[in-house]
Chains A and B, each alone.
Chain A
Amino acid sequence: MREKNVVQTKNLDWTYNGTKVLDDVSITIKPGTFTGILGPNGAGKTTLLKLILNLLDNEKDSVLITGKDIKTYSRKALAKIEAYVPQSVKIDFNFTVEQVVLMGRTPFLGRFDRESNEDIKIAEWAMQETGVLKLRGKLITHLSGGELQRVVIARALTQEPAILALDEPTSHLDIHHQINILSIIRSLAKRKNLTIVAVLHDVNHALEYCDNIFLLDQGKIVNSGSPEKVITPKVMKEVYNLNVNITKNPFTGNPYMLHDYA
């Protein structure tokens, strides 16, 4: 069977109030892969992620999800396929952790349904995976930044999506949980054929976890392909103005980046 693209953008442009933020971006993402989107601040990574989640009013036929124009999906239908972990979350209302995680089941509930035991089991599984099960009764407004981030990831997993889009999912996490979360989603990609699209800032995380990388700079894809191919001293110098050396991580055998502090 020919591998279909789950996510595809075709010559995608995006403009905020007259400023071009994305310029002719064409990407394809295969099912069950872990794709990293890298690039400096303001490169357009979040914007790209929002476009493949239909959160911005872009033109027809520029984003395809499982081969169909994203604009032909209803919100609810799309929410059964794609889940989103935003770059930052702010919740002022005193929901409990469990209530927030259970909201991930909403796309699957009819108008008059309450969450079933099955739904609660899925939420418990997601909280277990992300290590927030013991916080289930706590108020969301009382969580630390990293705990909140893991709750939002749990909510996205509770959606049981085919595509999981994460915007800097480890930005608030300690080093243990950074690795923990990325390893969990990688193993879900392998086991459940989940497609991961993650905006990452840590280049070494990208080298370790990604099957594919799109490097964005000033709204353009400047490089794409396997991590070894994209993350090179030359590219890092051009895009980040950083002197780097690529070595091997003795623990995993994958490429590892060392850099200058000048």
Chain B
Amino acid sequence: MISGKYRKIIFTLLVLILLGTIMIAGSLGSARISFSDVIKIIISPITPVGVENNVIKETSRIIIWKIRMPRIVLTVIAGMGLGVSGAVFQGIFRNPMANPYILGISSGAAFGVTLGMTMGLQITFLGIGAIPISAFIGAVGASVIVYLISGGGRDILPLLLSGIAIGFFLSAMMSLLMYFNRSQLENIVYWTMGSFNASSWQKAAITAPVILPGILFLIIFARDLNLMVLGEDSASSLGIPVRKSRLIFLLISTIITASAVAVSGVIGFVGLIVPHAMRIITGPDHRTLIPYSMMGGAILLLVSDTIARTIIAPTEIPVGIVTSLLGAPFFLFLLNRMRHPK
């Protein structure tokens, strides 16, 4: 754990790293655009007209604004959401192994997408297609079912176990659907691996107003989470209406996670390791852990996505594979560090 004044400095550092990563991500790709051009293009809407702008190729401008930036912005928002909801789920379940998918969100989303694809669902909503919609409904639906059948979150253990059970059930249902609809197999499997290759400004514009205010709310209520990790009786006797607070925390982080999953598929490990890594810096106080996890999630996911789309270009690998490939060894490193502290 690091003392108060350094925490602010490290947070600033994380902001700078994120901005740097955004520049690098904007620059890399099948058409290489120099850092200075990336910066100029990004700040061009706020610079006075005529200043140096004409030097930059119109194609670069289009690549940045139409292709890379929507994807970068969406990745950053989803990464923030996954990092924060991971921290919140670990707090609520008082278990550092908890992650945002613990209430069956990922299998719910995957089942929703599978059902949508096999039925050939053709709905759109605010410019969003059938896949994100069915993923979102599946994700939220699974969590609601888990919450209800486990007795309304009276205790956390039934919630955890119901989440696992429903997760398995929905995965089995999904396999069944896939088994009888093999033509969709590849699409479904590819979706579950997670990818930002179908990013758009529309998606960013619809997830941002959900995820960002959600994170803000969680930061404001973070102190309650500190008390809730002490246990239900202690938290109650310190003035926290535990069941109500738990429901609100679960609801908001479920919606955040479901939104991230809806636009990107199932991306593992971010919600698990980011809060772990950040806790080493911040300690367990959620008032600092949550903002840190927000930055950490964004950086990790953006780095992973940039690797995913550039490492064997022009082929793109699903980002979920990259996060797990990077995440698992890093996680083991952290575990090892915790077992043998300096």
Contacts and interface: CB of A to CB of B under 8 A. Distances in A.
Interface of A: 50, 53-55, 74-76, 78-80, 82-84, 86, 89-96, 99-100, 103-104, 106-107, 109, 111-112, 159
Contact of A75 (B1, B226, B239, B279): B239
Given A95-B283, A104-B238, A55 B233 contact: yes
Given A75-B240, A75-B241, A104-B238, A95 B233 contact: no
B238 A159 contact: yes
Contacts of B279: 94
Contact of B236 (A75, A95, A96, A109): A75
Contact of A79 (B1, B220, B233, B238): B238
Given A75-B239, A75-B241, A112-B220, A94 B283 contact: yes
Given A94-B283, A96-B283, A112-B220, A106 B236 contact: no
A106 B229 contact: no
A53 B237 contact: yes
Interface in B191-226: 220-221, 223, 226
Nearest to B230: A91
9 contacts: A74-B241, A79-B238, A83-B237, A84-B237, A92-B96, A92-B229, A95-B284, A107-B239, A109-B223
Which of A78, A84, A92, A93 gathers the greatest number of chain B CB atoms within 10 Å?
A: A93
Given A91-B230, A94-B283, A103-B230, A80 B239 contact: yes
A78 B94 CA distance: 25
Nearest to A54: B236
B284 A103 contact: no
Interface string B282-313: 01110000000000000000000000000000
Interface residues of B, number: 23
B231 interface: yes
Given A94-B284, A96-B283, A111-B220, A103 B227 contact: yes
A84 B80 CA distance: 37
**Cβ-closest 10 pairs across A and B:** A79-B239, A84-B237, A107-B239, A93-B284, A76-B239, A75-B241, A93-B229, A75-B239, A106-B238, A94-B284
A79 B284 CA distance: 23
A166 to B, nearest CB: 12
B234 interface: yes
Contacts of B226: 95, 99, 103
A152 to B, nearest CB: 8
Nearest to A100: B230
Nearest to A109: B223
B94 to A, nearest CB: 6
Contacts of A96: 1, 283
B300 to A, nearest CB: 22
Contacts of A76: 239
Interface string B81-98: 000000000000010100
Contacts of A103: 226-227, 230, 238
Given A91-B229, A93-B229, A112-B220, A78 B239 contact: yes
Contacts of B285: 95, 99
B231 A89 contact: yes
